[in-house]
Amino acid sequence: MKTANHYLDEANAVVPKISTEEGIARHNAGNTVFIDVRDSADIAASGTIAGALRVPRGFIEFAADANTPHHKPQLSKDADIVLICGVGGQAALAGKTLKEMGYQNVSNVGGFSAWKDAGGPVE
Per-residue confidence at 114, pLDDT binned at 50, 70, 90? very high
Neighbours of 96 (CB within 10 A): 20
pLDDT for 48 equals 97
What's the sign of the alpha-carbon dihedral 36, 41, 46, 50?
positive
Q: What's the rounded Cα separation, in Å, for the pair 95 and 105?
A: 10
The whole-model pTM stands at: 0.95
Contact 77, 57 (CB under 8 A): no
Contact 110, 116 (CB under 8 A): no
Relative to beta strand 53-54, strand 80-85 is unpaired
pLDDT for 56 equals 97
Q: List residues bridging with 81 in a β-sheet.
A: 33, 106
Q: What's the rounded Cα separation, in Å, for the pair 57 and 35?
A: 10
pLDDT for 98 equals 98
pLDDT for 35 equals 98
